[in-house]
């Protein structure tokens, strides 16, 4: 489809900017490798080995080639192949993030519908009040509090505090529950408030009044007249939060729960200046962004007949 | 007075809205009847309570802030004020239908015409699927939409304003309502389309025997298509009368002012179109006496102090101490 073709210059642009920032102006490893007082010959030789002496265009093209072939070489710190690190860690991160993300949005929409339906009523006020509370508490505090409540001997002591020893579905549930609850708690407030605003606005539209005048039941109004019309902002929000959730959400969760996902790998790579891994993660994030944009546009078309893909 | 019972009977209806500045009486004790199969015009300027009246009949006053605080609305002798929502829903769209002013936004943009029309049919007539679709196509044909079997699968944005209003009419009439409320159905349309749409409403009304309440500020439309008209001013009815006497010989000074300010072909050239001096009173600070007194050339002390009650004579009603055309 033509939409995907327009994604190509976008990917080029994004990778170019991230390349300039992270690789061209990024950390210079020459001195790390050589230690104190290197000779000029040593410096030149190492720079040649690292490819620093090549022109910008050549280095950028090389980066693009790495992206296209998914071959980023070997990690500086562990010596492991970058692609195999990613293959090992990305599924872990997805498994960790996905339940919280899906449930957080689903519950957000459901609570927003309930709140909007009872607008001005005490049910609405309670939901909105709790949402503000959820929004106001820092993610870090929530993680620590949930670890104490669910996983420590002072609390319920039902789940392991840290780690990821997953060999079966029951293991998965054991390890994923507390992080999922924490991420739902944090995202639910934002989601509910946002979705409620969207739904309330849609409820004031003329066509909703028309449906009412033709005898539609309020529940039918909400699910038929309103929900599909509200999908555009809802989809936008969900799609745009995907890249952010995958990167930053998993970063915190993984480091606090000691889970070996891609967020933790990225975090370690930033700390140690492990360029091959950073290059891979940044490039993939850019590509993911562009793809979510494309999927976003396609979904728009699905829910709203007025939008055409051109 | 005709011996036949009216289809719709509104008595002493009061609708109030709670606003930030205080309680507003949008409608203050109005009474009127709609007979079976007649077209009645509900005339008045913006903000006089025309639309609120039609919403009140359908039980759709947004609440809060609005509510009906007094009076009764009876449809075929059945009281509608205070009717439970579930009962009211059965009436909306089947016994009483409504057409709205803005055809551009009154239909749901993300569903096809077929989908929206079938919803109404399955809700009230319990017909579904192919049968409902056929009925919907039939209705579209009736309102003069070309190739309705194709048009029905389109979305509202693919139709012009006039076509959308026709779809609204088709939808409103699809369950054979006894009463059709048309809230400025042609205001948002081009003049040529206006005439076509009005013609369609009048034609269908004759064919189907539906009574129509035509809410409008367009006196030309009223003169052409209504048998009777109710003139509203600042939440009250000032005059109601059959069309020809009302236009020939308006009795309330406000109606007379309205008639005088219609642009028309005149024998003598006038430099300026006559207007009614002054502005509509603020509903929050209504005068003690007649609401039109401040703008009325005939007003005297009594008009400023007392509210005139309705005088009924020869099938017409007027709320004025000094009706025109009487000495």
What are the residues whose beta carbons fall under 8 Å from the beta carbon of B6, sequence distance 6 or more?
B33, B34, B35, B36
Which residue ranges does chain A devote to CATH 1.10.3720.10? 82-261
Crossing angle for the helix pair A169-203 and A250-257, nearest 10 degrees? Answer: 150
Distances (CA, A) of A127 to A107, A108, A116, B188: 12, 10, 10, 40
- Distance of residue A64 Cα from the nearest chain B Cα, in angstroms: 41
pLDDT tens digits, residue range A254-290?
A: 888 888 888 888 888 888 877 788 888 888 888 888 8
Is-contact A158 A151, C-beta < 8 A? yes
Query: What is the DSSP code (8-state) at residue A55?
Result: -
A305 touching B (Cβ < 8 Å): yes
Percent of chain B with pLDDT over 90: 0
A304 touching B (Cβ < 8 Å): yes
CA nearest to B86 within chain A: A217
Taking contacts as CB-CB distances below 8 angstroms, the residues of chain B near A232 are: none
pLDDT tens digits, residue range A41-61?
A: 777 877 777 777 777 788 888
Cα(A107)–Cα(B19) distance, integer angstroms = 35
ω into B65 cis (within 30 of 0): yes
Taking contacts as CB-CB distances below 8 angstroms, the residues of chain A near B97 are: 213-214
Q: Looking at the predicted structure, is the pLDDT value of residue A240 above 50?
A: yes
Q: Which residue has the higher pLDDT, B171 or A310?
A: B171
pLDDT at residue B273, as a whole number: 75
Look at A305 and B97 and tell me if their CB atoms are within 8 Å. no
Instruction: Tell the residue number behind the tokens 């699809």, with chain if given.
Output: B174
How many of the other CB atoms lie within 10 Å of CB of B252?
28
Token pair, residue B202, equals 């009048």
Across the range A95-109, mean pLDDT stands at 89
Token pair, residue A62, equals 């090389």
- Lowest average pLDDT, out of A126-140, B19-33, B206-220, B283-297, goes to B283-297
Of B107, B110, B172, the CB nearest to A303: B110
- Distance of residue B85 Cα from the nearest chain A Cα, in angstroms: 9
* CATH 1.10.3720.10 holds for A82-261: yes
Is-contact B102 B185, C-beta < 8 A? no
Cα(B183)–Cα(A210) distance, integer angstroms = 12
pLDDT at residue B3, as a whole number: 47
Number of inter-chain CB pairs under 8 A, A vs B: 71
> Which residue of A214, A221, A222 to mutate against B (max B Cβ within 10 Å)?
A214
pLDDT at residue A69, as a whole number: 79
Q: Which residue has the higher pLDDT, B296 or A200?
A: A200
pLDDT band for position A107 (cuts 50, 70, 90): very high
Domains, chain B, ranges and CATH?
A: 8-233 (3.40.50.300), 252-327 (no CATH)
What are the residues whose beta carbons fall under 8 Å from the beta carbon of B136, sequence distance 6 or more?
B113, B114, B117, B118, B121, B152, B170, B174
- Distance of residue A110 Cα from the nearest chain B Cα, in angstroms: 21
A204 touching B (Cβ < 8 Å): no
Look at B64 and A120 and tell me if their CB atoms are within 8 Å. yes
- Distance of residue B62 Cα from the nearest chain A Cα, in angstroms: 10
Q: Kindly state the helix (H) or strand (E) to which residue A252 belongs, with its residue range.
A: helix A250-257
pLDDT at residue B327, as a whole number: 36
Average confidence score pLDDT of chain B:
83
pLDDT at residue B1, as a whole number: 43
Of A206, A215, A229, the CB nearest to B90: A215
Q: In what order do the strands lie in the sheet with B211-216?
A: B96-99, B179-183, B211-216, B39-43, B228-233, B236-242, B316-318, B311-313
């Amino acid at each position: 489809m033509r939409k995907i073709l327009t994604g190509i210059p976008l990917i080029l642009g994004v990778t170019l900017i991230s390349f300039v920032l992270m690789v061209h102006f990024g950390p210079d490893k020459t001195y790390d490798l050589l230690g104190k007082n290197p000779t000029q010959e040593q410096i030149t030789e190492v720079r040649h080995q690292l490819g620093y002496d090549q022109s910008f265009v050549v280095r950028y093209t090389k980066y693009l080639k790495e992206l296209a072939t998914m071959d980023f070489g070997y990690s500086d710190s562990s010596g492991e192949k970058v692609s195999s690190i990613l293959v090992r860690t990305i599924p872990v991160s997805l498994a960790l993030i996905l339940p919280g993300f899906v449930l957080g949005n689903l519950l957000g929409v459901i609570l927003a519908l309930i709140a909007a339906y009872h607008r001005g009523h005490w049910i609405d006020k309670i939901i909105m009040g709790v949402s503000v509370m959820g929004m106001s508490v820092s993610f870090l505090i929530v993680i620590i509090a949930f670890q104490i409540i669910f996983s420590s001997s002072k609390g319920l002591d039902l789940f392991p505090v840290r780690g990821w020893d997953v060999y079966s579905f029951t293991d998965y549930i054991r390890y994923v529950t507390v992080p999922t609850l924490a991420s739902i708690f944090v995202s639910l407030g934002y989601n509910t408030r946002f979705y409620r605003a969207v739904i309330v606005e849609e409820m004031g539209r003329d066509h909703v009044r028309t449906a009412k005048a033709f005898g539609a039941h309020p529940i039918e109004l909400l699910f038929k007249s309103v929900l599909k019309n509200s999908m555009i902002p809802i989809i936008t929000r969900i799609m745009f939060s995907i890249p952010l959730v995958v990167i930053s959400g998993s970063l915190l969760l993984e480091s606090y729960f000691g889970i070996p996902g891609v967020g933790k790998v990225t975090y370690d790579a930033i700390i140690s200046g492990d360029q091959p891994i950073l290059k891979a993660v940044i490039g993939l994030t850019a590509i993911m962004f562009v793809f979510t944009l494309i999927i976003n546009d396609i979904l728009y078309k699905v829910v709203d007949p007025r939008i055409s893909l051109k | 007075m005709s011996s036949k019972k009216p289809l719709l009977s509104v008595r002493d209806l009061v609708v109030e809205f709670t606003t930030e500045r205080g309680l507003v009486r949008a409608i203050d004790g109005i009474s009127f009847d709609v007979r079976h199969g007649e077209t009645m015009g509900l005339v008045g300027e913006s903000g006089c309570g025309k639309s609120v009246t039609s919403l009140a009949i359908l039980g759709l006053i947004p609440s809060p802030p609005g509510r009906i605080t007094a009076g009764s609305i009876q449809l075929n002798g059945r009281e509608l004020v205070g009717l439970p929502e579930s009962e009211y829903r059965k009436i909306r769209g089947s016994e009483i239908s409504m057409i709205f002013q803005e055809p551009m936004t009154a239909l749901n943009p993300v569903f096809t015409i077929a989908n929206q029309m079938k919803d109404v049919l399955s809700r009230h007539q319990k017909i579904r699927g192919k049968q409902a679709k056929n009925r919907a196509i039939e209705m579209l044909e009736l309102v003069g939409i070309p190739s309705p079997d194709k048009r029905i699968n389109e979305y509202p944005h693919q139709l012009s304003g006039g076509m959308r209003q026709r779809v609204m009419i088709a939808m409103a009439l699809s369950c054979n309502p006894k009463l059709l409320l048309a809230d400025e159905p042609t205001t948002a349309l081009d003049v040529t389309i206006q005439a076509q749409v009005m013609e369609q409403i009048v034609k269908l009304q004759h064919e189907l025997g539906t009574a129509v309440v035509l809410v409008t500020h367009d006196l030309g439309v009223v003169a052409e298509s209504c048998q009777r008209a109710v003139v509203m001013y600042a939440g009250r009815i000032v005059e109601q009368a059959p069309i020809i006497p009302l236009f020939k010989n308006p009795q309330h000074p406000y109606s007379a002012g309205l008639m005088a300010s219609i642009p028309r072909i005149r024998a003598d050239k006038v430099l300026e179109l006559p207007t009614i001096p002054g502005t509509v009173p603020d509903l929050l600070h209504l005068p003690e006496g007649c609401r039109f007194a401040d703008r009325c050339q005939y007003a005297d002390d009594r008009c400023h102090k007392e509210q005139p009650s309705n005088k009924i004579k020869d099938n017409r009603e007027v709320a004025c101490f000094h009706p025109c055309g009487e000495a």
